[in-house]
Amino acid sequence: MSVAENIDASLDEDAAPKDLTDGFHLIIEALKLNGINTIYNVPGIPITDLGRYMQAEGMRVLSFRHEQHAGYAAAIAGYLTKKPGVCMTVSAPGFLNGLTALAHATTNCYPMILLSGSSEREIVDLQQGDYEEMDQLAIAKPLCKAAFRILHAEDIGIGIARAIRAAVSGRPGGVYLDLPAQLMAQTMDAAAGEKSLVKVIDPAPAQLPAPEAITRALEVLKNAKRPLIILGKGAAYAQADDEIRALVEKSGIPYLPMSMAKGLLPDTHPQSAGPARSLVLKESDTVMLIGARLNWLLSHGKGKAWGDNEKKFIHIDIEPTEMDSNVEIAAPVVGDIGSCVTALLDAMGDDWAPPPTEWTEAVNTKRQSNIERMAPRLQNNNVPMDFHGALGVLRTIIAERPDAILVNEGANTLDFARGIIDMYKPRKRLDVGTWGVMGIGMGQAIAAAVETGHPVLAVEGDSAFGFSGMEIETVCRYNLPVCIVVFNNGGIYRGTDVNPTGGPDVAPTVFVKDARYDKMMEAFGGVGYHATSPDELRQAVNEAMDSGKPSLVNAVIDPASGTESGRIGNLNPQSVVSKKK
């Protein structure tokens, strides 16, 4: 301030203060201006008041018991809505707890923003030992798509705009936004503050494929004798449901949905090759990938699972560097899925010839025989229940309630449920994603209920459930229509391992026998059920889903019925020295 201004200010002391705003309110206004109205958080210094003001300004502020679950909630909210899900944490430890979810969002291509309070730069950079001091920006950087810090109130508008655009444009991912404590208290002129806000226009612009790429792709497809379409969660994320269905149906090509793409077309669709997975991977000669990466989940596009015959790949993805990541791509189609699929449909014309019937019939025969082979196992009434008996029940329940969202994690509980439970609508199956991470259960269940208003059925291994189990208090607190079924086989993979030394500790994969997870739910006012047979399970889950109340079914599964690592035991390294007992 100049001397003259100083004198003016002192003379003005009794006059009404200029209208001021501050960092708190600018952050809130910037988020609201961009349609972000829900925050998943754990309160504390320096963001407690920010959460309070957010709620006071009409935002939905949902508090969790641990940041990781708030983060998983935000990540899946992003997947479900195509808008960044926002997680908010305190400095250092809270920030670190949220980072797993931020990395998970980035790995899975979910748009998410982690807003974290932090200590002042001056103290952090001189390492003077502030309360929860940490150079958070540097630590977040390698784990997300973009990381920004806002130091001045007048930059809040632009900072939040950059975070939103980075999260949703191109290949979506996680974004870190660092908010030092003093930023929130900084003041500025209210009118200037309002002007500084940015409404992001067209945050995820359409990216049109090159016409040559479309021609090339159709040329490859036309020459195929045994074509296959693989739909991934990018296809589900794109929300181009009608176009994708039209492409699959017009082409007549069998399609294989990756786990979270199940339901994009109903799993009962006559072209679904889900139940003939091994056959189509091995025997196909041309594969069109739509929003699916050739990562470990598809055996990197090579090796035994893919058979000996030579294959041509067509790859539709928004990320150019995904092409040739594992094998040569004969026809890269880079663009957003909606635009790419529409362009393909247009260029296919009206006289597109379906694939040779030899191929489609071979796929159908395999599919039918696998379905028939499985059917009696799903109807077994064994007590104690095995995975098939219990999942047969849940399969029927989802068929009767196709709007319900299925959250699923565990090893056997995941792998069997993925194969057994048919999905009928897009984005209804939310699972462990690209990493196969345990702990997504309650965060995803909560966000699914909050973002969609639909009932949620969370099918959880007992180990998997343990990672986020405390969040059932959150489920009860917000009275969400979530029914959790814990597949209680007393351990990781199985409950039967023994300690080979005969010592007092149980084996590393074994939990307390006969645990009653249903009682945990009752502790918070939810409804607990204990189910020991398929009939009891059916009754409990139906009652829970009808009531819409927070509920948990402790489903007692035979501790001996699981297999090592579910379906991916082959990924375990083997010792040549000692055999497991």
Torsion (CA) 444, 450, 454, 456 in degrees, nearest 10: 30
Under the phi-then-psi rule, with left for phi > 0, alpha for psi from -120 to 50, and beta for the rest, what region is 421?
Answer: beta
Under the phi-then-psi rule, with left for phi > 0, alpha for psi from -120 to 50, and beta for the rest, what region is 433?
Answer: left
Window of 149-157, 321-329, 418-426, 487-495 that interacts with Mg ion by CB under 5 A: 487-495
Least spacing, CB of residue 493 vs ligand TZD, in Å: 4
Q: Which two tokens stand for residue 142?
A: 């390698």
* Cis preceding linkage at 426, omega within 30: no
Beta carbon nearer to Mg ion, 85 or 461: 461
Residue from 25, 104, 262, 293 that binds ligand ADP (CB under 6 A)?
293
Residue from 154, 178, 409, 462 that binds Mg ion (CB under 5 A)?
462
Q: Give yes or no for a contact between 345 and 240, defined as CB atoms under 8 angstroms apart.
A: no
Rounded to whole angstroms, the Cα distance separating 312 from 287 reads 6
| Residues 241 to 270 in contact with ligand ADP, rule: CB under 6 A | 258, 260-261
Beta carbon nearer to ligand ADP, 64 or 237: 237
Beta carbon nearer to ligand ADP, 342 or 554: 342
Name the nearest CA neighbour of 443 among 482, 479, 486, 492. 482
In the shown chain, the binding pattern of residues 314 to 353 toward ligand ADP, with x for contact by CB under 6 A and - for none, equals ---xxx--x-------------xx----------------
Residue from 461, 469, 528, 566 that binds Mg ion (CB under 5 A)?
461
Helix axes 48-56, 23-33, angle to 10 degrees: 50
Beta carbon nearer to ligand TZD, 364 or 565: 565
Rounded to whole angstroms, the Cα distance separating 468 from 405 reads 18
Contacts of 72 (CB under 8 A, 6+ apart): 101, 104, 439, 440, 443, 444, 447, 468
Residue 422 interaction partner, one of Mg ion, ligand ADP, ligand TZD, none, beta carbon < 5-8 Å per kind: none
Report if residue 300 touches ligand ADP, rule: CB under 6 A. Answer: no
**Cα 377 vs. chain centroid, distance in angstroms?**
30
3-class SS of residue 405: strand
Question: What phi and psi values does residue 495 have, to the nearest 5 degrees?
Answer: -115, 20
| Residues 151 to 180 in contact with ligand ADP, rule: CB under 6 A | 171-172
Least spacing, CB of residue 294 vs ligand ADP, in Å: 8
Residue from 108, 251, 408, 489 that binds ligand ADP (CB under 6 A)?
108
Residue from 89, 136, 489, 551 that binds Mg ion (CB under 5 A)?
489
Report if residue 237 touches ligand ADP, rule: CB under 6 A. Answer: yes
Q: Give yes or no for a contact between 55 and 426, defined as CB atoms under 8 angstroms apart.
A: no
Q: Which two tokens stand for residue 524?
A: 């918070």
Beta carbon nearer to ligand ADP, 187 or 299: 299
Residue type, 497: D
Window of 85-93, 232-240, 421-429, 551-559 that interacts with ligand ADP by CB under 6 A: 232-240
Query: Taking CB positions, which residue lies at the least distance from ligand ADP?
Result: 234
Positions that interact with Mg ion (CB under 5 A): 461-462, 489
Positions that interact with ligand ADP (CB under 6 A): 108-109, 171-172, 232-234, 237-238, 258, 260-261, 291-293, 295, 297, 317-319, 322, 336-337, 434
